[in-house]
Structure 1
Amino acid sequence: MKKLVNDPRHVVREMLEGLVALCPDQALLADEDVIVRAVLPEPGARKVAVLSGGGAGHEPAHAGYVGQGLLTAAISGDVFTSPSADAVLTAIRAAAGPAGAVLVVKNYTGDRLNFGLAAELAKAEGIPTEIVMVADDVALHDTVPAERRRGIAGTVLVHKIAGAAAEAGWPLARVAETARQAAGGLGTMGVALGACTVPAAGRPGFLLGDNEVELGLGIHGEQGVRRGALEAADALVDTMLEIILKDQGLGDGDRVALLVNGLGGTPPMELAIVARRALTVLRGRGIRVERAWSGNFLTAIEMPGCSLSLLEVDDDSLSLLDAPAAAPAWPGGGRIAVPKVLPGPAAVADPAAAGIADLQVRGRLFKVAAALEAAEERLTTLDSAAGDGDLGISMLRGAEALRALPDGAFSDPATALTALAGALRRAIAGSSGPFYAVALMRAARVLDSGAGAEAEAYAAAFRAGVDAITELGGAKPGDRTMLDALVPGAEAFEAAARDGRPLTEAWRAAVEAADKGFQATAGMRPRLGRAAYLGDRAIGTPDAGAAAATVWMRALL
């Protein structure tokens, strides 16, 4: 187990200490793992208090929602363990007054028992207390009765609605009933791509194969309702939404709020892809998505995966969702509109688009495309060892761009190089795109001049392209870059051309020299590019950029 913790027995307290140190509007109780608002009126002047909590490991829940317009206090147990009744009672005493308290509780046995007992004890002390149970896990629709379902990520939306109602000064019964109505119109479904590791356990809660996912999981690192095959994000979203919509009876004309929740190990990139599909599907079914949020709201430590929550809304509940709130984890906003996709500037007309292809030129370049496609996995592996691992996919995009060129782009070599420069510039991000684009443009200009015999003309064009890369990037031979293959190749090409060797033989000499240069990079210490950050740790693996150069050079043979 690798985690940034000190002692697993103390992770919760140390985490809470860190949270309040970062938030001046929160305070930590001395004797219990409870976070409350730092500034509260005297008990007699307090509005209804809204409290929630549960086991740690769900961060930013629950402490992240303590603030004006949301929770008054949050109670934390050990990781994935309900807090004690005494801790909950202490939180009620610290946060509530005669107006009373609403406890928003996720439907787990430990939470029901401890929050329920604390509520009874608080009532006995004269603090009116109501419990709102959240059971939004629709994955259990065929497994347990509705009242026994788990409470999961949709609980955050109940926090917001209850908190806004309390902030508005509503009486206890109305705050509780409003929160219960929200909980009753809420459905959530989750999917996990892997397990999480509880610090005290030191190992993952379950194991998944590379092509497996868990569907319908809870929030405590447990397995789901069923195990299925890993599918594309859109297919997984469709599966989750189908279950939620059917369970909640949602359809054309209904209004909802959408929560796309990461489980702790899913990057924003993937959550945005999920949100995109969810919005598309819901709108396609005539459902009005009035508000939507995406991010980590209620997690399972570092579990990779996500959940989708749909809350049926009307004007009244929307006003509560929109009400001002100030808590560290509440993102606010949520208003969305149909995506706007604006047309780009008109492209300059391509004079080669209507030309006729030279089949020999196209055939040779298509061999380059095929070679780059075949080398994708190898280039990715090499680039992952000393870079960011994107070279394989970049070269694949370059091959796709080459194949998509119009026939007229292959009318002659100079035209082909110019067209390919533009295509690669648009298709390949990072450094490879600009390097190849400038090299191809420079080489095309030399070829277009038509000077010299065939081998000498191509050698001059190749040298011009290599020099352009040198000028643009500032590297030189020995820096462990693509130039360690290209420069020896250019020198060998020029020498063979000067000796009067035919083009094919001269190019073969260039390929052999480039390959030797590529092999030599394995013993070089990188001086430029991301590999330079690794220093001597990169020695032993040849440079991926030099490898890519030898792939397309050899394909031209």
Structure 2
Amino acid sequence: MKKLINDPRFAVREMLEGALALAPSLALLAEENVVIRNDLPDAPQRRVAVISGGGAGHEPAHAGYVGPGMLSAAVVGDVFTSPSVDAVLAAVRAVSGPAGALLVVKNYTGDRLNFGLAAEIAREEGIPVEIVIVADDAALASLVAPERRRGIAGTVFIHKLAGAAAERGAPLADIASLARSASSDLRTMGVGLGTCIVPAVGLPSFSLGAEEIEFGLGIHGEKGVRRSAIKPANEIVEEILAVLTGEITPSADKRLAVLVNGLGATPPMELAIVLGHALKSLGGMGFSVSRAWCGNFMTALEMPGVSITLLPLDDRRLQLLDDATPVSAWQGDGQVRLPITIVPGAAAHVDQGVPVPRGPQSDLLRAGALAVADALDGAEAELGDLDGKAGDGDLGASMARGAAAIRNLADRSFATPETLLADLSAGVRRAIAGSSGPFYAAALLRAAGQLRGLDCATEAQWRTAFLAAAQAISDLGGAGRGDRTMLDALLPGHEAWQQATDQGQNPVAAFFAAAAAAHAGAMASATLMPRAGRASYIGDRAIGIPDGGAVAVAIWMKAIAGVLE
């Protein structure tokens, strides 16, 4: 187990102390893991207190929702363990006044028992207390009665609705009725792509195959209701929405609030993809998504996965969701802006109406370019593996995108050496977003400039353009020979080409010598200490691994040589 913790027994307290160091408006009770608002008035002037909680491991829930317009206090148990009765009671006593307290409780046995008993004791002490049980897990519909379902990420919507109503000064009975109604209406379903490790246990909660996912899991690392093979994000979203939309009872205008919730280890990129398709799919079903949020709201430690919550809206719910709150974990105003704004960029003018005649080298240019594309496609796995050992692993995919850019060239691109290199420069610039794209685009553009106006380039002119391309890469990136980059294939290749020509070899033999020298230079790069690029970040750990960029150069030079033969 690898965790950035000290002793698992003290991890929750240490987490809360660290979090509150950046939250001056919050306070931590001395004897209990309870986070409270630090700005409450004296008890007689307090509005209804909204209190929630549960085990740790769901961050930012629950302490991240403490603040005006949401929770008055959050009670935090050990990881995935209900907080004690005394901790809940301490929270009620700390933040409640004559207006009373609403306890928002997720539907787990431990939470119901401990929050329920604390409420009984508080009532005996004269504090009005109401409890709302959240049981929003739609995945359990065919397995248990509605009142037995788990409470999961939809609980966050109840925090917001109840907290906003309390901030407006609504009485306890009204807030409880509002929260119960919303809890009854909302539905959530999740999918896990992996497991999590509870610090005190030190082992994964269950095992999943490399190509398996788990539908309908909760927020405590438990298994779901069924297992499936991994599939595209859109298909996963469709399966979840099919369950959720079959469970909810929408209003006449079919307004919804949507919560896309990461389970802890899901990158924002993937969550945004899920949100985008959910909005599109729900719109296609006739729903009107009035508000939506996307991010980590109620997690399960480091579990990769996502849940989607649907809450039918009426005017009051929408107004309460829109009420401002400064709490750190409530992200944005939820405004949905569809269709998104897409504006055209300012593109360079290309007069497509002027035909470019075929030149004497057109067939050779096309054959060489397509041979390069085939070679790069064939080497995608090899280049990705090399780059993954000393970089970020994207080189193979980048070169494959470059190959696609070659195949997408128009016929006019093969008219002359200049048009091929200039159009290919623009193509790879758009197709390859990583560092390879700008380097190749700059190299091709400068080489095109060397061949401007030529219908047919001589060997000497091609060789001059080749050196200019290498110089463009050096100028743009600041690297030189020996820095373990593609220049360690390009520059030896040019030297061998020049030397073979000076020795009287024919142009084809001279370029074969260049390709062989480029290959030798690429292999020799394995002995070099990296001084540029991502490989420089790992220092001598890159020794023994040829530079992927240099190997790519050797591959496409060999492909061109094969066409010339």
Structure 2 length as normaliser, TM-score? 0.95
State the Cα distance separating 1:250 from its structure 2 match. Answer: 4.4
Distance 1:353 1:119 in 2: 82
Does the Cα contact within 8 Å between 1:79 and 1:198 map onto a contact in 2?
A: yes
| 1:422 pairs with one of 406, 426, 435 | 426
Over 3 Å counting, the alpha-carbon distance change for 1:66 and 1:525 in structure 2 is same
Matched ranges for 1:130-529 at <5 A: 130-250=130-250, 253-338=253-338, 339-349=340-350, 351=352, 354-355=355-356, 358-448=362-452, 450=454, 454-529=458-533
Distance 1:128 1:23 in 2: 29
Does the Cα contact within 8 Å between 2:8 and 2:200 map onto a contact in 1?
A: yes
Distance 1:443 1:351 in 2: 23
What code does the residue aligned with 1:483 have?
Answer: L
Over 3 Å counting, the alpha-carbon distance change for 1:471 and 1:64 in structure 2 is same
Over 3 Å counting, the alpha-carbon distance change for 1:100 and 1:251 in structure 2 is closer
Matched ranges for 1:54-203 at <5 A: 54-203=54-203
Distance 1:240 1:53 in 2: 26
SS at match of 2:36: strand
Over 3 Å counting, the alpha-carbon distance change for 1:118 and 1:460 in structure 2 is same
Over 3 Å counting, the alpha-carbon distance change for 1:452 and 1:85 in structure 2 is closer
Over 3 Å counting, the alpha-carbon distance change for 1:487 and 1:81 in structure 2 is same
The superposition leaves residues 346-374 of structure 1 with CA deviations (integer Å, 9 ceiling, x where unpaired) of 54225598557734322221121111112
What code does the residue aligned with 1:345 have?
Answer: A
State the Cα distance separating 1:134 from its structure 2 match. Answer: 0.6
What code does the residue aligned with 1:390 have?
Answer: D
Over 3 Å counting, the alpha-carbon distance change for 1:265 and 1:103 in structure 2 is same
Tell me the residue number matched to 2:42. Answer: 42
Does the Cα contact within 8 Å between 1:251 and 1:287 map onto a contact in 2?
A: no
State the Cα distance separating 1:448 from its structure 2 match. Answer: 3.9
What code does the residue aligned with 2:38 have?
Answer: A
State the Cα distance separating 1:459 from its structure 2 match. Answer: 1.8
Distance 1:243 1:236 in 2: 11
State the Cα distance separating 1:83 from its structure 2 match. Answer: 0.7
The superposition leaves residues 15-63 of structure 1 with CA deviations (integer Å, 9 ceiling, x where unpaired) of 1111222211111111111111112222222111100000000000000
SS at match of 2:228: strand
Distance 1:375 1:533 in 2: 25
Distance 2:417 2:32 in 1: 76
Distance 2:302 2:279 in 1: 26
Over 3 Å counting, the alpha-carbon distance change for 1:418 and 1:500 in structure 2 is farther
Does the Cα contact within 8 Å between 1:29 and 1:35 map onto a contact in 2?
A: yes
What code does the residue aligned with 1:125 have?
Answer: E
SS at match of 1:170: coil
SS at match of 1:22: coil
Distance 1:289 1:475 in 2: 51
Over 3 Å counting, the alpha-carbon distance change for 1:178 and 1:252 in structure 2 is closer
Segment of structure 1 superposing worse, 161-170 or 423-432: 423-432
Does the Cα contact within 8 Å between 1:486 and 1:549 map onto a contact in 2?
A: yes
Determine whether 1:15 maps to 2:18: no
State the Cα distance separating 1:328 from its structure 2 match. Answer: 2.0
The superposition leaves residues 287-309 of structure 1 with CA deviations (integer Å, 9 ceiling, x where unpaired) of 11111111110000010111111
SS at match of 1:290: strand
SS at match of 1:308: strand
State the Cα distance separating 1:179 from its structure 2 match. Answer: 0.7
The superposition leaves residues 184-232 of structure 1 with CA deviations (integer Å, 9 ceiling, x where unpaired) of 1211111111001100011111111111101111000111111101011
What code does the residue aligned with 1:189 have?
Answer: M
Distance 1:245 1:345 in 2: 43
What code does the residue aligned with 1:196 have?
Answer: C
Distance 2:57 2:398 in 1: 38
Unaligned runs of 5+ in 2: none
Does the Cα contact within 8 Å between 1:82 and 1:111 map onto a contact in 2?
A: yes
Does the Cα contact within 8 Å between 1:83 and 1:114 map onto a contact in 2?
A: yes
SS at match of 1:163: helix
The superposition leaves residues 467-505 of structure 1 with CA deviations (integer Å, 9 ceiling, x where unpaired) of 222222221111111000000001111222233322221
Distance 1:513 1:352 in 2: 43
SS at match of 2:328: coil
Distance 1:336 1:123 in 2: 42
Does the Cα contact within 8 Å between 2:417 and 2:454 map onto a contact in 1?
A: no
Distance 1:446 1:503 in 2: 19
Over 3 Å counting, the alpha-carbon distance change for 1:116 and 1:468 in structure 2 is same
Tell me the residue number matched to 1:3. Answer: 3
Between the two proteins, the alignment pairs up a number of residues equal to 557
Q: CA RMSD in A?
A: 1.7
Does the Cα contact within 8 Å between 1:497 and 1:503 map onto a contact in 2?
A: yes
Segment of structure 1 superposing worse, 157-166 or 392-401: 392-401
Does the Cα contact within 8 Å between 2:185 and 2:249 map onto a contact in 1?
A: no
The share of aligned pairs that are identical, in percent, is: 57
The superposition leaves residues 299-328 of structure 1 with CA deviations (integer Å, 9 ceiling, x where unpaired) of 000101111111111111111011121212
Does the Cα contact within 8 Å between 1:446 and 1:460 map onto a contact in 2?
A: yes
Distance 1:153 1:481 in 2: 48
Over 3 Å counting, the alpha-carbon distance change for 1:313 and 1:353 in structure 2 is farther
Distance 1:375 1:464 in 2: 26
Matched ranges for 1:536-555 at <5 A: 536-555=540-559
What code does the residue aligned with 1:220 have?
Answer: H
Distance 1:105 1:418 in 2: 64
Over 3 Å counting, the alpha-carbon distance change for 1:445 and 1:22 in structure 2 is closer
Distance 2:113 2:238 in 1: 36
Over 3 Å counting, the alpha-carbon distance change for 1:206 and 1:433 in structure 2 is same
Segment of structure 1 superposing worse, 56-65 or 231-240: 231-240
